[in-house]
Chain A
């Protein structure tokens, strides 16, 4: 591994998670071992301390009977060869009784001092050995010094072993926890790495790339699903804007060519039209072009889902207003207009889009239904609770085999070419329905006049 790659390593999630894992593990095991130590080695030291205190207490009880009484007690205890060593000195520093000849440590300046010292002893088989003892030296009130000590050899050995075990297991634990941390965090890091590779692929231009979903429903799956949904939307958006560009190129070319020809004809000496008339017609052409252009843009935005603010709305109000707006024009054209609304048509909707889609359907109905025909506007619920808004006319209708096609952009059936319009009305209505997770369904309309009629129905999920 290169040195330069070290900082990069420390930045990885694996490293950080492993370190965190190890730190937490060490914290826990350190507390555990500390407790273990406290309960074993610590307990032994404390026990010795208590016994030392008892010894002193008993000897000071003896001292209350005078120095000779104390001397006697020390001599007895020393000869009993118990756990403790003793030394009693008189006020001149001369030994009175005990196991040592001189104080193995300095006499205390004050009253009492705890000491630790080494002394020479012989083992059972007569070998000399240096041993460690701990004890307490106390100055007596009437002069003289008393020392009580105990050999810590056994206790110290125990302590050392326990602390050895503690340290060794801490080291092993640290290594194990690091390995554990790496193993755990590696799997997380791998998932993150997969996500990163997906986005890299997308950035490189492959919009069909999707992040893997493992099906466990964990956070990474949720993240992947979100990312995939986002990528799906992005892909649709790109495709939509691409196809909008294609449509514009395709469908604006012919009117632009017509406009150009008209202008050129107007320039000629013996022009068919007066120049002013030619100009006026050209302006009409341009207006038509702009209208188509705007319709294409609006359609693309709706299809891409880039527009609209959706709110839970009762569509009855919107359809009421549309009925009121269109009724006069129907009467003007001697169409029998009927409107039968139900109430509580709640939908998550962008009201402007719904109004525009319905307006397109009503425009079509008014345009294509001959005088004396029928135009019905309905707003109600489907059997499954969905909200249905429909416009039913008694016009020529659309043959069943053409119904899918007319929803596509710019498709206009032969007989309707003479009518004004961009050919985007049904496409927009369909796109609006899809933006609301609904659909536009075309069917047979009112056949009372002998014609096929058209029923255009927006089906929107109820909210």
Chain B
């Protein structure tokens, strides 16, 4: 993926560049809002990573200006302001995701990659498939190798999210935010238990596991 990072703090920018490059992405860095907006509009980027507080043009106005000018690359806000209203403000301005500083490197990579996928897979689909696992979004049914799997509504949404991001690492925080709409981290391993239940349903009777645990990061659904 080709990612534009707009971040005025040189250390933070170098950190983001390092993390994303290591994950195999091409990264451009820009230090202020005005030039960032110009560069975003000029270059063909798969995703933007925008600091909320920038000198000159702040992140919110930057993304708004970019969207108004027809820019379509998904944008991820980085911000020290993590309250729900800040988040809502960011998403209303045209951002696609919001990550509160400080964050784990794996969280950043997972979210940027999830954004890239969204940009390319915007066409509404009615069926998802990973390996022998098939999900019918209209009929709300799941089959693996032709065998029907019964899921609770929440398990269905959890699996849907994992399948939409097949091959990518999905963090616990992402699952909490996107599947449960909670913006805090419970102190107990509630997510792990839900994922392991789901795993019991889709992997237990099959030779090859699809749902993998990525140590220190989260989960990945992969054939």
* Residues from chain A with Cβ under 8 Å of B223 in the complex: none
Does A366 lie at the interface of the complex (its beta carbon under 8 Å from any beta carbon of B)? Answer: yes
Complex contact B85–A324 (CB within 8 A): no
Per the bound structure, the CA–CA distance linking A421 and B102 in Å amounts to: 18
Alpha-carbon distance A160/B193, docked complex (angstroms): 106
Evaluate contact between A290 and B102: CB separation under 8 angstroms: yes
Question: Is there a chain A Cβ closer than 8 Å to B201's Cβ?
Answer: no
Q: C-beta contact mask, B180-213 vs A, less than 8 Å → 1, else 0?
A: 1011111111100110010000000000000000
Contact A329 B189 (CB under 8 A): yes
A256 to chain B, nearest CB (A): 15
B122: Cβ under 8 A from any A Cβ: no
A206 CA / B190 CA spacing, docked (Å): 48
By a CB distance below 8 angstroms, the chain B residues around A324 are 154
Smallest distance from the beta carbon of A341 to chain B beta carbons, Å?
A: 17
Query: In the complex, A332 Cα to B189 Cα: how many Å?
Result: 10
B200: min CB distance to chain A, Å: 11
Closest A residue by C-beta to B103: A290
Identify the stretch in A33-41, A167-175, A352-360, A378-386 within 8 Å (CB) of chain B at 4 or more residues: A352-360
Q: Is B83 an interface residue (CB 8 A)?
A: yes
Are B83 and A363 in contact (CB-based, < 8 A)? no
By beta carbon, the residue of chain A nearest B101 is A290
* Contact A326 B187, CB 8 Å, known A309-B85, A359-B182: no
- In Å, the complex CA distance between A421 and B185 comes to 11
With contacts A321-B180, A352-B183, A359-B182 taken as known, whether A329 is within 8 angstroms of B188 at the C-beta atoms is yes
A328-B193, A328-B197 known; A421 and B187 CB under 8 Å?
yes
* B84 close to A (CB within 8 Å): yes
When the two chains form their complex, are residues A363 and B183 in contact, meaning their CB atoms are under 8 A apart?
no
* B132 contacts partner chain A, Cβ-Cβ < 8 Å: no
Q: A397 at interface (Cβ–Cβ under 8 A)? A: no
Please give me the residue from chain A that is nearest to B183 by CB atom.
Answer: A352
B104 — which chain A residues lie within 8 A by C-beta?
287
Closest residue of B by beta carbon distance from A324: B154
Interface centre among B183, B184, B197 (most CB of A within 10 A): B184
- Whether A236 sits at the interface, judged by CB under 8 Å, is no
The minimal Cβ–Cβ distance linking A233 to chain B, given in whole angstroms, is 18
Residues in B whose Cβ lies below 8 Å from that of A421: 187
Question: Contact mask B125-151 → A, CB, 8 Å, 1/0?
Answer: 000000000000000000000000000
In the complex, what residue of chain B is closest to A353 when comparing beta carbons?
B84
Do B183 and A328 have beta carbons less than 8 Å apart? no
Q: How far is the CA of A26 from the CA of B194 in the complex (A)?
A: 83
* Residue A209 CB within 8 A of the other chain: no
CA distance A294 to B183 in the complex (A): 12
B55 at the interface (CB under 8 A from A): no
Please give, as numbers and ranges, the residues of chain B lying within 8 Å of A363 by CB-CB distance. Answer: 186-188
Q: In the complex the two chains form, what is the Cα distance from A294 to B102 in whole Å?
A: 10
- Complex CA gap A259/B154 in Å reads 40
A143 to B152, CA, bound (A): 125
Q: A328-B194, A329-B193 are in contact. Are A367 and B188 (CB under 8 A)?
A: yes
Report chain B residues within 8 Å CB of A420: 187
- Complex contacts, A367 vs chain B, CB 8 Å: 187-188
- Please name the residue on chain B nearest to A280 by beta carbon: B216
Taking the nearest CB of chain A, how far is it from the CB of B103, in angstroms? 10
Docked complex Cα distance between A290 and B197 (Å): 30
- B187 and A325 contacting across the interface, CB-CB below 8 Å: no
* A127 to B: closest C-beta gap in Å: 98
A307 at the interface (CB under 8 A from B): yes
B43 at the interface (CB under 8 A from A): no
- Contact pattern, A 306-331, Cβ under 8 Å of B = 1, otherwise 0: 01010000000000010011101100
Q: Does B82 contact A (CB under 8 A)?
A: yes
Interface pair A307/B184, CB less than 8 Å apart: no
Contact in complex: B180, A325 (CB < 8 Å): yes
A301 within 8 A of B: yes
Distance between B184 CB and nearest chain A CB, rounded to angstroms: 5
Among B154, B180, B187, max chain A CB count under 10 A is at: B187
Complex Cα distance, B193 from A324, in Å, reads 12
A425 lies within 8 A of chain B by Cβ? yes
A341 to B189, CA, bound (A): 24
Interface residues of B in 102-137 (CB under 8 A from A): 102, 104
Give Cα distance in the complex from A371 to B185, angstroms. Answer: 23
Q: Using Cβ atoms and an 8 Å threshold, which residues of chain A touch B193?
A: 328-329, 332
Alpha-carbon distance A291/B184, docked complex (angstroms):
11
Give 9 A-B contacts (CB < 8 Å), ordered by A residue: A290-B102, A325-B186, A325-B190, A329-B188, A332-B193, A352-B184, A355-B184, A359-B182, A425-B187
Known: A326-B188, A355-B184, A360-B187. 7 other contacts (CB 8 A): A287-B104, A307-B84, A309-B85, A325-B182, A328-B190, A359-B184, A420-B187
- Closest 5 interchain pairs by CB? A363-B187, A328-B193, A329-B193, A356-B184, A366-B188
Q: Which residues of A are interface residues toward B (Cβ below 8 A)? A: 287, 290-291, 294, 298, 301, 307, 309, 321, 324-326, 328-329, 332, 352, 355-356, 359-360, 362-363, 366-367, 420-421, 425
